[in-house]
Amino acid sequence: MSAHLILIDALNLIRRVYAVQERPFIQIKQQHDDELSSSTLKQVLFNTQKTCVNALIKIIDQHQPTHALAVFDSQQPCWRYQLFDGYKKGRKKMPDHLANKLTDIQDAFMEQGFDSLTSDEDEADDLIATLAVKMALHGQKVTIISTDKGFLPLLSPNIHLYDYFNRRYLDEEHVKNKFNVKSTQLIDFWTLTGDNTNKIEGVSGIGQVTAAKLLNQYGSLKAVLNATDLKDSLAEKLALSVEQMDLARKLLTLKQDIPLGFNLKDIRLTSPSPALEISGNIIAINGDRN
């Protein structure tokens, strides 16, 4: 029997929903130069949880998955920060009151039959990539729910990326229109250009147009580096950036081999629970379940 696994990039969904719910109150606060009251924060968090659950229901109804997981980032810095302390530097930190609400949101997800997955060492992106690739290798369908472009290199006949907020699939046509390369060339592309979203530097002086032109001409970054007909100025830029490119590639590449410790049957989508309160079922990477 064929399976269809939905993998939700949980914080991508939750933080975007929270921002929408918070925005009108923030605008009022700015007008009156005041802080949000505790009652207002509670209302924003309540609305965020309710909207996220409604999103979950819509996702299930639209995609009709047989299996599902909401994948969460660890609250601790992942291994990428150990490689590069500037990783995601300057990115806005999740508000403490939202971070403290995540357990309640996980519980609410579980009431809809959606289990949750988290890890102390890896990012949600790495866990999602590992699960998606494992499923795809067995010929099963995977749909990743996220707006994160970092999943685009995973695109394949069995792995799809869906933007819930704009109601569209981010497919090969999207990649071509946005980056002018194939999804299989994106890691090479970002290694050359860098990724400003995550504060990963690329090769100085090489932008998207040049990177796409090189990859379309030579096929891969390896072929570009081995080419003997590059302009001297370009060859020099590349030669001076070997270490930076190596670091960028490591940071950009999602893990696909994390030991998960559970089977497909453990994440089969169950019927929503009629209970008002349920303890969330958090899957740890060692396979233990709380």
Which residues are documented as binding site?
A: 125, 192, 203, 206
Annotated binding site for Mg(2+): which residue ranges? 125
Cα Rg of the chain (Å, integer): 21
* Binding site residue list for K(+): 192, 203, 206
**DSSP symbols for the chain:** ---EEEEEEHHHHHHHHHHHHHHHHHHHHHHHT-PPPHHHHHHHHHHHHHHHHHHHHHHHHHH--SEEEEE---SS--HHHHH-TTTTTTPPPPPHHHHTTHHHHHHHHHHTT-EEE--SSS-HHHHHHHHHHHHHHTT-EEEEE---GGGGGG-BTTEEEEETTTTEE--HHHHHHHHSS-GGGHHHHHHHHEEGGGTEE--TT--HHHHHHHHHHHSSHHHHHH-S-S-HHHHHHHHTTHHHHHHHHHHHSPP--------GGGGBPPPPP--S-----EEPTTS-B-
